[in-house]
Structure 1
Amino acid sequence: MKQTAFPLVLIVVGVLWLLVATDLAPATSTLIALALAGVGVTQLVLEGFNKNTVVAGPMWMLSGGLVYAVMHRLIGLSVAGAIATITLGLLMLLARLPAVPEPPRPGPDLRKAPRDEPADGR
């Protein structure tokens, strides 16, 4: 997957660029807002509900919404910053609740087998 990620990113960026250049896509700020919100949703879907994602996922989604609101002049930047700060604090308190599970610990990397040491110590 690592080898195909960069070409796929280039293709997606190129397609988005083409759509924006030909006025077939929404404004760049709208695309950025959608991408930020998409990162939050993706994080919650892929990693599940735990102490990390209960903060990070909603903050990504809120960031997308705030970018959209500021860029379309629905709210000011100062108001967006205040909303983000309050929300981050509330989510951090929520993450401390005992009902929110701990994130899974990373297991041993099974792809890397331990090297066999020679008997003479070299």
Structure 2
Amino acid sequence: MLLKINFESDVPIYAQLKNQIIRGIAKGELDEGESLPSVRQMAEDIGINMHTVNKAYNLLKGDGFITIDRRKGAIVNKIPIPSSEEYDDILKEELESIISEAHCRGVSEEDFIEACKEIYSVYKRK
């Protein structure tokens, strides 16, 4: 899996890293039980601070995407991860922000839903 970090982005590097790993898991590029590079190796490969990688890995662990084992490192967990009421609330809040901006920019409901379907289709499990 190739990670692309945009150092000019307003999105923090740890969040970009976390999001790209989640996308890799969702697309099947990272399988259950697969090891992620060590914190040191990932930091070196991307050219970022080890603390940044550590923060991304800890967030992924907290969200249930990976398990961190002292001997084996970061391991991808079984997908799908059970949803929770807390996640459902976060999802709705984030969608509300995206939908409200799309509405203000004149994106129709049909176009918005079609864009969502296009993106979601990439993540359907085989």
TM-score over 0.5 (shorter chain): no
Larger radius of gyration: 1
TM-score range, shorter chain: under 0.3
Q: Which has the higher helix share?
A: 1
TM-score with structure 1 setting the length: 0.28
TM-score with structure 2 setting the length: 0.27
